[in-house]
Amino acid sequence: MARKVVITGLGATTPIGGDVPTMWRNALKGVSGAHTLEDDWVAKYELPVHFAARATTPATEVLSRVEAKRMDPSTQFAVVAAREAWADSGITEVDHDRLAVAFATGIGGVWTLLDAWDTLREKGPRRVLPMTVPMLMPNGPAAAVSLDLGARAGAHTPVSACASGTEAVHVGLDLIRSGKADVVVCGGAEAAIHPMPIAAFSSMQALSRRNDDPEGASRPYDLGRDGFVMGEGAGALVLEAEEHALARGARIYAELAGTSVTADAYHITAPDPEGLGATRALKAAMFDGRIQPEDVVHVNAHATSTPVGDKPEYTALKAALGNHVDSVAVSATKSQMGHLLGASGAVEAVLTVLAVYERKAPVTINLENQDPEIPLDVVTTARDLPGGSIVALSNSFGFGGHNAVIAVRSI
Amino acid sequence: MASNEEILSGLAEIVNEETGLATEAVELDKSFTEDLDIDSISMMTIVVNAEEKFGVRIPDEEVKNLKTVGDAVSFIANAQA
Protein backbone atom coordinates (compact mmCIF):
# COMPACT_ATOMS: atom_id res chain seq x y z
CA MET A 1 0.00 0.00 0.00
CA ALA A 2 1.52 3.30 -1.13
CA ARG A 3 1.90 6.12 1.37
CA LYS A 4 -1.03 8.50 1.28
CA VAL A 5 -0.05 12.06 0.40
CA VAL A 6 -1.99 15.12 1.54
CA ILE A 7 -1.86 18.83 0.78
CA THR A 8 -1.37 21.07 3.81
CA GLY A 9 -0.14 24.40 2.46
CA LEU A 10 -0.98 26.67 -0.48
CA GLY A 11 0.72 29.74 -1.95
CA ALA A 12 0.27 31.85 -5.08
CA THR A 13 1.11 35.14 -6.69
CA THR A 14 -0.89 35.71 -9.86
CA PRO A 15 -2.53 38.23 -12.20
CA ILE A 16 -5.74 38.01 -10.13
CA GLY A 17 -4.20 38.25 -6.68
CA GLY A 18 -0.85 38.38 -4.93
CA ASP A 19 -1.79 35.73 -2.36
CA VAL A 20 -4.10 32.72 -2.14
CA PRO A 21 -7.07 34.38 -0.36
CA THR A 22 -7.17 37.25 -2.88
CA MET A 23 -6.73 34.96 -5.88
CA TRP A 24 -9.48 32.61 -4.67
CA ARG A 25 -11.92 35.45 -3.96
CA ASN A 26 -11.38 36.79 -7.48
CA ALA A 27 -11.48 33.32 -9.06
CA LEU A 28 -15.01 32.87 -7.67
CA LYS A 29 -16.04 36.36 -8.71
CA GLY A 30 -14.67 36.19 -12.25
CA VAL A 31 -12.24 38.98 -13.04
CA SER A 32 -9.69 39.51 -15.78
CA GLY A 33 -6.03 40.04 -15.00
CA ALA A 34 -5.20 41.01 -18.60
CA HIS A 35 -4.45 44.66 -19.38
CA THR A 36 -2.74 46.78 -22.00
CA LEU A 37 1.03 46.86 -21.42
CA GLU A 38 2.38 50.33 -20.64
CA ASP A 39 5.99 49.39 -21.43
CA ASP A 40 7.72 51.45 -24.09
CA TRP A 41 9.11 48.30 -25.70
CA VAL A 42 5.69 47.38 -27.06
CA ALA A 43 5.78 50.29 -29.53
CA LYS A 44 9.57 50.30 -29.89
CA TYR A 45 9.61 46.76 -31.32
CA GLU A 46 6.20 47.09 -32.98
CA LEU A 47 4.95 43.98 -31.18
CA PRO A 48 1.75 42.59 -32.67
CA VAL A 49 0.37 41.93 -29.16
CA HIS A 50 -0.05 44.91 -26.81
CA PHE A 51 -1.32 43.26 -23.63
CA ALA A 52 -0.64 40.58 -21.04
CA ALA A 53 -1.70 39.49 -17.56
CA ARG A 54 0.88 40.79 -15.12
CA ALA A 55 1.09 39.64 -11.50
CA THR A 56 -0.93 42.06 -9.35
CA THR A 57 1.83 42.34 -6.76
CA PRO A 58 5.40 42.83 -7.98
CA ALA A 59 7.69 40.41 -6.12
CA THR A 60 10.01 43.32 -5.40
CA GLU A 61 7.31 44.72 -3.10
CA VAL A 62 7.40 41.53 -1.03
CA LEU A 63 11.09 40.60 -1.02
CA SER A 64 13.90 42.76 0.33
CA ARG A 65 15.92 44.74 -2.21
CA VAL A 66 19.03 42.64 -1.67
CA GLU A 67 17.11 39.35 -1.94
CA ALA A 68 15.40 40.46 -5.13
CA LYS A 69 18.51 41.68 -6.93
CA ARG A 70 20.09 38.22 -6.72
CA MET A 71 17.06 36.49 -8.26
CA ASP A 72 15.57 36.44 -11.72
CA PRO A 73 11.92 37.62 -11.63
CA SER A 74 10.79 33.99 -12.09
CA THR A 75 12.71 32.96 -8.97
CA GLN A 76 11.33 35.95 -7.07
CA PHE A 77 7.78 34.75 -7.77
CA ALA A 78 8.73 31.20 -6.73
CA VAL A 79 10.09 32.33 -3.38
CA VAL A 80 7.05 34.54 -2.68
CA ALA A 81 4.61 31.67 -3.38
CA ALA A 82 6.69 29.05 -1.56
CA ARG A 83 6.95 31.20 1.57
CA GLU A 84 3.18 31.68 1.61
CA ALA A 85 2.59 27.93 1.20
CA TRP A 86 5.11 27.10 3.91
CA ALA A 87 3.59 29.57 6.38
CA ASP A 88 0.11 28.30 5.47
CA SER A 89 1.14 24.70 6.27
CA GLY A 90 1.88 25.72 9.86
CA ILE A 91 4.97 23.49 9.93
CA THR A 92 7.24 24.70 12.69
CA GLU A 93 9.62 21.77 12.97
CA VAL A 94 10.76 19.50 10.19
CA ASP A 95 13.63 17.09 9.51
CA HIS A 96 15.36 19.13 6.82
CA ASP A 97 17.01 16.00 5.41
CA ARG A 98 13.47 14.71 4.68
CA LEU A 99 12.21 17.96 3.11
CA ALA A 100 12.44 18.21 -0.70
CA VAL A 101 11.59 20.77 -3.38
CA ALA A 102 10.12 20.18 -6.84
CA PHE A 103 9.77 23.57 -8.47
CA ALA A 104 9.30 24.06 -12.18
CA THR A 105 9.62 26.76 -14.76
CA GLY A 106 8.76 26.62 -18.43
CA ILE A 107 11.26 29.11 -19.81
CA GLY A 108 13.66 29.97 -16.99
CA GLY A 109 15.49 33.22 -16.38
CA VAL A 110 14.75 34.88 -19.70
CA TRP A 111 15.01 38.45 -18.35
CA THR A 112 18.42 37.74 -16.83
CA LEU A 113 19.70 35.98 -19.95
CA LEU A 114 18.67 38.73 -22.34
CA ASP A 115 19.71 41.59 -20.04
CA ALA A 116 23.17 40.01 -19.77
CA TRP A 117 23.40 39.69 -23.56
CA ASP A 118 22.47 43.38 -23.91
CA THR A 119 25.10 44.29 -21.31
CA LEU A 120 27.77 42.25 -23.08
CA ARG A 121 27.09 43.93 -26.40
CA GLU A 122 26.76 47.45 -25.02
CA LYS A 123 29.35 47.51 -22.22
CA GLY A 124 31.61 44.48 -22.70
CA PRO A 125 32.24 41.27 -20.73
CA ARG A 126 33.51 42.97 -17.56
CA ARG A 127 30.04 44.39 -16.89
CA VAL A 128 28.19 41.06 -17.18
CA LEU A 129 27.10 40.40 -13.59
CA PRO A 130 28.77 37.51 -11.74
CA MET A 131 25.29 36.35 -10.61
CA THR A 132 24.12 35.92 -14.22
CA VAL A 133 24.43 32.12 -14.41
CA PRO A 134 22.75 31.24 -11.09
CA MET A 135 20.00 33.72 -11.95
CA LEU A 136 19.23 32.43 -15.44
CA MET A 137 19.50 28.67 -14.81
CA PRO A 138 16.13 26.89 -14.98
CA ASN A 139 16.76 25.23 -11.62
CA GLY A 140 17.06 28.71 -10.07
CA PRO A 141 13.55 28.71 -8.58
CA ALA A 142 13.95 25.21 -7.07
CA ALA A 143 17.40 26.07 -5.75
CA ALA A 144 16.23 29.35 -4.20
CA VAL A 145 13.27 27.67 -2.48
CA SER A 146 15.53 24.89 -1.21
CA LEU A 147 17.97 27.46 0.17
CA ASP A 148 15.19 29.53 1.71
CA LEU A 149 13.54 26.62 3.54
CA GLY A 150 16.62 24.49 4.17
CA ALA A 151 15.25 21.64 2.07
CA ARG A 152 18.02 19.06 1.76
CA ALA A 153 16.25 15.97 0.36
CA GLY A 154 16.83 17.20 -3.21
CA ALA A 155 15.68 20.19 -5.24
CA HIS A 156 14.12 19.08 -8.53
CA THR A 157 13.16 21.02 -11.65
CA PRO A 158 10.83 19.24 -14.06
CA VAL A 159 10.80 21.19 -17.33
CA SER A 160 7.98 20.33 -19.73
CA ALA A 161 6.87 23.71 -21.10
CA CYS A 162 3.31 24.49 -20.03
CA ALA A 163 2.95 21.14 -18.25
CA SER A 164 5.90 21.90 -15.94
CA GLY A 165 3.93 23.07 -12.89
CA THR A 166 1.70 20.02 -12.94
CA GLU A 167 4.67 17.72 -13.49
CA ALA A 168 6.30 19.26 -10.40
CA VAL A 169 3.31 18.13 -8.32
CA HIS A 170 3.66 14.68 -9.90
CA VAL A 171 7.34 14.57 -8.92
CA GLY A 172 6.43 15.67 -5.39
CA LEU A 173 3.96 12.81 -5.02
CA ASP A 174 6.57 10.32 -6.18
CA LEU A 175 9.19 11.64 -3.77
CA ILE A 176 6.91 11.04 -0.80
CA ARG A 177 5.43 7.74 -1.99
CA SER A 178 8.87 6.31 -2.69
CA GLY A 179 10.04 7.27 0.78
CA LYS A 180 12.68 9.75 -0.37
CA ALA A 181 11.01 12.64 1.48
CA ASP A 182 8.24 13.25 4.03
CA VAL A 183 7.43 16.82 3.00
CA VAL A 184 7.78 18.40 -0.46
CA VAL A 185 7.30 22.02 -1.46
CA CYS A 186 6.29 21.87 -5.11
CA GLY A 187 5.13 24.39 -7.64
CA GLY A 188 5.99 26.41 -10.70
CA ALA A 189 7.04 29.95 -11.56
CA GLU A 190 7.22 32.03 -14.71
CA ALA A 191 8.16 35.61 -15.57
CA ALA A 192 8.34 35.82 -19.36
CA ILE A 193 6.38 38.98 -20.16
CA HIS A 194 9.35 40.27 -22.13
CA PRO A 195 9.33 41.47 -25.75
CA MET A 196 11.29 38.49 -27.07
CA PRO A 197 8.95 35.70 -25.87
CA ILE A 198 5.96 37.84 -26.89
CA ALA A 199 7.45 38.17 -30.38
CA ALA A 200 8.28 34.46 -30.51
CA PHE A 201 4.85 33.26 -29.35
CA SER A 202 3.28 35.76 -31.76
CA SER A 203 5.32 34.38 -34.64
CA MET A 204 3.83 30.96 -34.08
CA GLN A 205 0.33 32.52 -34.02
CA ALA A 206 -0.19 31.30 -30.44
CA LEU A 207 -1.21 34.62 -28.82
CA SER A 208 -4.53 36.43 -28.95
CA ARG A 209 -4.33 39.72 -30.85
CA ARG A 210 -7.47 41.23 -29.37
CA ASN A 211 -5.54 44.42 -28.60
CA ASP A 212 -8.68 46.53 -28.31
CA ASP A 213 -10.13 44.25 -25.61
CA PRO A 214 -7.43 42.68 -23.38
CA GLU A 215 -9.94 41.67 -20.68
CA GLY A 216 -11.96 39.74 -23.25
CA ALA A 217 -8.99 38.17 -25.05
CA SER A 218 -8.63 34.93 -23.08
CA ARG A 219 -11.87 33.10 -23.97
CA PRO A 220 -11.47 29.32 -23.74
CA TYR A 221 -14.20 27.31 -25.52
CA ASP A 222 -15.65 30.46 -27.10
CA LEU A 223 -16.05 30.51 -30.89
CA GLY A 224 -14.23 33.86 -30.92
CA ARG A 225 -11.05 32.52 -29.24
CA ASP A 226 -7.91 33.46 -31.13
CA GLY A 227 -4.98 32.50 -28.90
CA PHE A 228 -3.72 32.58 -25.35
CA VAL A 229 -2.78 35.58 -23.18
CA MET A 230 0.65 35.70 -21.55
CA GLY A 231 0.50 35.61 -17.76
CA GLU A 232 3.12 35.49 -15.01
CA GLY A 233 3.46 34.48 -11.38
CA ALA A 234 3.84 31.33 -9.31
CA GLY A 235 1.91 28.70 -7.41
CA ALA A 236 3.17 26.48 -4.60
CA LEU A 237 1.84 23.55 -2.57
CA VAL A 238 3.12 21.78 0.52
CA LEU A 239 2.70 18.03 0.09
CA GLU A 240 3.07 15.86 3.14
CA ALA A 241 2.95 12.16 3.96
CA GLU A 242 -0.40 11.67 5.68
CA GLU A 243 1.13 10.20 8.84
CA HIS A 244 3.48 13.19 9.07
CA ALA A 245 0.57 15.64 8.77
CA LEU A 246 -1.59 13.73 11.27
CA ALA A 247 1.24 13.51 13.80
CA ARG A 248 1.48 17.30 13.98
CA GLY A 249 -2.29 17.87 13.88
CA ALA A 250 -2.12 19.72 10.57
CA ARG A 251 -5.02 21.29 8.72
CA ILE A 252 -5.40 19.02 5.67
CA TYR A 253 -6.92 20.54 2.53
CA ALA A 254 -7.24 17.37 0.49
CA GLU A 255 -5.52 14.19 -0.62
CA LEU A 256 -3.28 14.21 -3.68
CA ALA A 257 -4.78 10.94 -4.84
CA GLY A 258 -3.03 10.34 -8.15
CA THR A 259 -0.87 11.91 -10.84
CA SER A 260 0.51 10.98 -14.23
CA VAL A 261 2.69 12.20 -17.04
CA THR A 262 2.62 11.00 -20.66
CA ALA A 263 4.06 12.16 -23.99
CA ASP A 264 2.25 12.39 -27.33
CA ALA A 265 5.25 11.61 -29.57
CA TYR A 266 3.12 13.18 -32.28
CA HIS A 267 4.33 16.73 -33.06
CA ILE A 268 6.68 19.21 -31.39
CA THR A 269 3.94 21.80 -30.77
CA ALA A 270 0.58 20.64 -32.11
CA PRO A 271 -1.50 18.52 -29.74
CA ASP A 272 -2.50 15.09 -30.98
CA PRO A 273 -5.89 15.94 -32.61
CA GLU A 274 -7.44 12.82 -31.11
CA GLY A 275 -6.06 13.68 -27.68
CA LEU A 276 -4.60 10.20 -27.28
CA GLY A 277 -1.69 11.27 -25.07
CA ALA A 278 -3.99 13.38 -22.91
CA THR A 279 -6.45 10.47 -22.65
CA ARG A 280 -3.70 8.14 -21.47
CA ALA A 281 -2.61 10.74 -18.92
CA LEU A 282 -6.15 11.13 -17.56
CA LYS A 283 -6.70 7.38 -17.35
CA ALA A 284 -3.32 6.85 -15.72
CA ALA A 285 -3.92 9.51 -13.05
CA MET A 286 -7.33 8.00 -12.29
CA PHE A 287 -5.87 4.49 -12.12
CA ASP A 288 -3.09 5.80 -9.87
CA GLY A 289 -5.68 7.26 -7.49
CA ARG A 290 -8.14 4.34 -7.78
CA ILE A 291 -10.71 6.77 -9.17
CA GLN A 292 -13.84 5.87 -11.13
CA PRO A 293 -15.28 8.34 -13.66
CA GLU A 294 -18.37 8.82 -11.42
CA ASP A 295 -16.11 10.07 -8.56
CA VAL A 296 -15.04 13.11 -10.62
CA VAL A 297 -17.13 16.24 -10.08
CA HIS A 298 -14.82 19.00 -11.30
CA VAL A 299 -12.03 19.57 -13.82
CA ASN A 300 -9.70 22.53 -13.93
CA ALA A 301 -9.01 22.35 -17.66
CA HIS A 302 -5.82 23.30 -19.46
CA ALA A 303 -8.00 25.32 -21.91
CA THR A 304 -5.62 28.04 -23.10
CA SER A 305 -8.06 29.69 -25.56
CA THR A 306 -6.20 28.68 -28.73
CA PRO A 307 -8.32 27.62 -31.71
CA VAL A 308 -6.60 24.21 -32.02
CA GLY A 309 -5.84 23.42 -28.38
CA ASP A 310 -9.17 23.43 -26.56
CA LYS A 311 -10.95 20.71 -28.51
CA PRO A 312 -8.54 17.74 -28.13
CA GLU A 313 -8.79 18.20 -24.34
CA TYR A 314 -12.56 17.69 -24.62
CA THR A 315 -11.99 14.60 -26.74
CA ALA A 316 -9.64 13.27 -24.07
CA LEU A 317 -12.02 14.04 -21.19
CA LYS A 318 -14.82 12.29 -23.07
CA ALA A 319 -12.61 9.26 -23.68
CA ALA A 320 -11.49 9.06 -20.06
CA LEU A 321 -14.80 9.86 -18.32
CA GLY A 322 -17.29 8.51 -20.87
CA ASN A 323 -20.83 9.91 -20.65
CA HIS A 324 -20.06 11.09 -17.11
CA VAL A 325 -18.18 13.99 -18.74
CA ASP A 326 -21.57 15.71 -19.11
CA SER A 327 -21.95 15.79 -15.30
CA VAL A 328 -18.58 17.37 -14.54
CA ALA A 329 -18.24 21.10 -13.74
CA VAL A 330 -15.38 22.38 -15.90
CA SER A 331 -13.49 25.58 -15.08
CA ALA A 332 -11.09 27.27 -17.49
CA THR A 333 -9.31 29.65 -15.13
CA LYS A 334 -6.87 30.86 -17.80
CA SER A 335 -9.85 32.96 -18.95
CA GLN A 336 -9.17 35.09 -15.87
CA MET A 337 -5.41 35.07 -15.39
CA GLY A 338 -4.06 34.21 -18.81
CA HIS A 339 -1.51 31.47 -19.34
CA LEU A 340 1.23 31.35 -16.71
CA LEU A 341 3.16 28.82 -18.84
CA GLY A 342 5.36 26.75 -16.49
CA ALA A 343 3.54 28.18 -13.46
CA SER A 344 0.04 27.53 -14.80
CA GLY A 345 -0.21 23.92 -13.61
CA ALA A 346 0.92 24.87 -10.12
CA VAL A 347 -1.54 27.75 -9.78
CA GLU A 348 -4.32 25.57 -11.19
CA ALA A 349 -3.38 22.82 -8.71
CA VAL A 350 -3.87 25.36 -5.91
CA LEU A 351 -7.28 26.29 -7.37
CA THR A 352 -8.22 22.62 -7.73
CA VAL A 353 -7.32 21.89 -4.11
CA LEU A 354 -9.39 24.88 -2.97
CA ALA A 355 -12.31 23.79 -5.17
CA VAL A 356 -12.35 20.42 -3.38
CA TYR A 357 -11.77 21.90 0.08
CA GLU A 358 -14.28 24.76 -0.24
CA ARG A 359 -16.57 22.73 -2.55
CA LYS A 360 -16.83 25.52 -5.06
CA ALA A 361 -15.82 25.60 -8.73
CA PRO A 362 -14.20 28.84 -9.95
CA VAL A 363 -15.46 30.89 -12.84
CA THR A 364 -14.75 30.83 -16.57
CA ILE A 365 -15.16 34.33 -18.00
CA ASN A 366 -15.65 35.53 -21.58
CA LEU A 367 -17.72 32.52 -22.68
CA GLU A 368 -20.36 34.09 -24.93
CA ASN A 369 -20.76 31.67 -27.83
CA GLN A 370 -19.64 28.24 -26.72
CA ASP A 371 -18.00 26.19 -29.46
CA PRO A 372 -20.63 23.53 -30.31
CA GLU A 373 -17.83 21.01 -30.85
CA ILE A 374 -16.89 21.37 -27.16
CA PRO A 375 -20.17 20.68 -25.33
CA LEU A 376 -18.69 20.71 -21.81
CA ASP A 377 -20.60 21.93 -18.76
CA VAL A 378 -18.51 25.07 -18.29
CA VAL A 379 -18.77 26.95 -14.98
CA THR A 380 -19.55 30.60 -15.77
CA THR A 381 -20.79 31.63 -12.32
CA ALA A 382 -19.29 30.15 -9.13
CA ARG A 383 -20.95 26.84 -8.48
CA ASP A 384 -21.21 24.64 -5.38
CA LEU A 385 -19.75 21.16 -5.66
CA PRO A 386 -21.53 18.20 -4.04
CA GLY A 387 -20.91 16.87 -0.52
CA GLY A 388 -19.48 13.44 0.25
CA SER A 389 -16.25 12.10 -1.21
CA ILE A 390 -15.40 14.04 -4.36
CA VAL A 391 -12.52 14.14 -6.84
CA ALA A 392 -11.28 16.97 -9.05
CA LEU A 393 -8.77 16.72 -11.88
CA SER A 394 -6.37 19.33 -13.25
CA ASN A 395 -4.83 18.95 -16.72
CA SER A 396 -1.78 20.59 -18.23
CA PHE A 397 -0.30 20.11 -21.68
CA GLY A 398 2.95 21.53 -23.01
CA PHE A 399 4.84 22.09 -26.24
CA GLY A 400 6.83 18.95 -26.82
CA GLY A 401 3.75 16.76 -26.44
CA HIS A 402 3.83 16.73 -22.64
CA ASN A 403 0.63 15.78 -20.80
CA ALA A 404 0.32 15.93 -17.02
CA VAL A 405 -2.71 15.30 -14.83
CA ILE A 406 -3.29 15.43 -11.09
CA ALA A 407 -6.28 14.08 -9.17
CA VAL A 408 -7.31 15.65 -5.85
CA ARG A 409 -9.72 13.89 -3.49
CA SER A 410 -11.64 15.39 -0.57
CA ILE A 411 -10.67 14.27 2.93
CA MET B 1 40.56 62.26 -8.16
CA ALA B 2 38.77 61.29 -5.00
CA SER B 3 40.07 61.56 -1.44
CA ASN B 4 40.35 58.42 0.69
CA GLU B 5 37.24 59.53 2.59
CA GLU B 6 35.33 59.90 -0.65
CA ILE B 7 36.50 56.49 -1.84
CA LEU B 8 35.43 54.91 1.47
CA SER B 9 31.98 56.44 1.38
CA GLY B 10 31.54 55.54 -2.32
CA LEU B 11 32.64 51.97 -1.61
CA ALA B 12 30.28 51.78 1.37
CA GLU B 13 27.38 52.77 -0.89
CA ILE B 14 28.32 50.02 -3.38
CA VAL B 15 28.53 47.44 -0.56
CA ASN B 16 25.18 48.60 0.80
CA GLU B 17 23.57 48.31 -2.63
CA GLU B 18 24.88 44.75 -3.11
CA THR B 19 24.48 43.32 0.40
CA GLY B 20 22.12 45.57 2.33
CA LEU B 21 24.79 46.20 5.01
CA ALA B 22 24.57 49.63 6.62
CA THR B 23 27.13 52.03 5.14
CA GLU B 24 28.48 52.76 8.65
CA ALA B 25 29.47 49.09 8.96
CA VAL B 26 31.88 49.43 6.07
CA GLU B 27 35.02 50.58 7.93
CA LEU B 28 38.67 50.56 6.86
CA ASP B 29 39.76 47.72 9.15
CA LYS B 30 36.84 45.41 8.26
CA SER B 31 37.58 42.22 6.33
CA PHE B 32 35.22 41.69 3.38
CA THR B 33 34.87 37.96 4.05
CA GLU B 34 35.39 37.63 7.83
CA ASP B 35 33.61 40.74 9.10
CA LEU B 36 31.18 41.71 6.34
CA ASP B 37 30.35 38.13 5.24
CA ILE B 38 30.70 39.00 1.56
CA ASP B 39 30.99 35.97 -0.73
CA SER B 40 33.15 35.80 -3.84
CA ILE B 41 30.29 36.52 -6.24
CA SER B 42 29.23 39.61 -4.32
CA MET B 43 32.89 40.69 -4.12
CA MET B 44 33.21 40.54 -7.91
CA THR B 45 30.02 42.59 -8.30
CA ILE B 46 31.41 45.17 -5.85
CA VAL B 47 34.72 45.26 -7.73
CA VAL B 48 33.05 45.83 -11.11
CA ASN B 49 30.81 48.56 -9.68
CA ALA B 50 33.85 50.21 -8.02
CA GLU B 51 35.72 50.16 -11.33
CA GLU B 52 32.88 52.05 -12.97
CA LYS B 53 32.39 54.49 -10.10
CA PHE B 54 36.07 55.40 -9.65
CA GLY B 55 37.22 54.99 -13.26
CA VAL B 56 39.92 52.43 -12.42
CA ARG B 57 40.74 48.89 -13.43
CA ILE B 58 41.07 46.26 -10.68
CA PRO B 59 42.64 43.17 -12.28
CA ASP B 60 41.10 39.81 -11.29
CA GLU B 61 44.43 38.66 -9.79
CA GLU B 62 44.45 41.73 -7.50
CA VAL B 63 41.01 41.03 -6.03
CA LYS B 64 42.29 38.27 -3.71
CA ASN B 65 44.72 40.79 -2.17
CA LEU B 66 41.90 43.16 -1.22
CA LYS B 67 41.22 41.55 2.15
CA THR B 68 40.00 44.60 4.02
CA VAL B 69 38.02 47.67 3.06
CA GLY B 70 41.23 49.67 3.66
CA ASP B 71 43.09 47.49 1.10
CA ALA B 72 40.46 48.36 -1.49
CA VAL B 73 40.50 52.07 -0.66
CA SER B 74 44.34 52.15 -0.96
CA PHE B 75 44.30 50.24 -4.23
CA ILE B 76 41.71 52.55 -5.77
CA ALA B 77 43.53 55.67 -4.52
CA ASN B 78 46.83 54.45 -6.01
CA ALA B 79 45.18 53.45 -9.26
CA GLN B 80 43.70 56.93 -9.58
CA ALA B 81 47.00 58.69 -8.81
Residues A266-309 have pLDDT tens digits of: 999 988 889 999 999 999 999 999 999 999 999 999 999 999 99
Residue A407 lies in a domain: no
B45 interface with A at CB cutoff 8 Å: yes
Residue A11 lies in a domain: yes
Residue A141 lies in a domain: yes
If 0-12 CB within 10 Å is exposed, 13-18 middle and 19+ buried, where does residue A170 land? buried
Residue A411 lies in a domain: no
pLDDT tens digits for range B21-30 = 999 999 999 9
B19 interface with A at CB cutoff 8 Å: yes
Judged against a pLDDT cut of 90, whether residue B1 lies above it is answered with: no
A44 interface with B at CB cutoff 8 Å: no
Active site residue A50: no
Residue A203 lies in a domain: yes
pLDDT score, position A273: 86
Nearest CA in chain A to B17: A66
For residue A316, what are the domain limits?
Answer: 1-402
Residue A408 lies in a domain: no
Domain total for chain A? 1
For residue B72, what are the domain limits?
Answer: 4-80
pLDDT tens digits for range A164-190 = 999 999 999 999 999 999 999 999 999
CATH classification at residue B20: 1.10.1200.10
User: Percent of chain B having pLDDT more than 70?
Assistant: 100
User: Are the Cβ atoms of B20 and A129 closer than 8 angstroms?
Assistant: no
pLDDT score, position A238: 99
Domain total for chain B? 1
Judged against a pLDDT cut of 80, whether residue A1 lies above it is answered with: no
Residue A56 lies in a domain: yes
CATH classification at residue A63: 3.40.47.10
User: Percent of chain B having pLDDT more than 90?
Assistant: 95
pLDDT score, position A48: 98
Residue A214 lies in a domain: yes
pLDDT tens digits for range B52-75 = 999 999 999 999 999 999 999 999
User: Are the Cβ atoms of A126 and B51 closer than 8 angstroms?
Assistant: yes
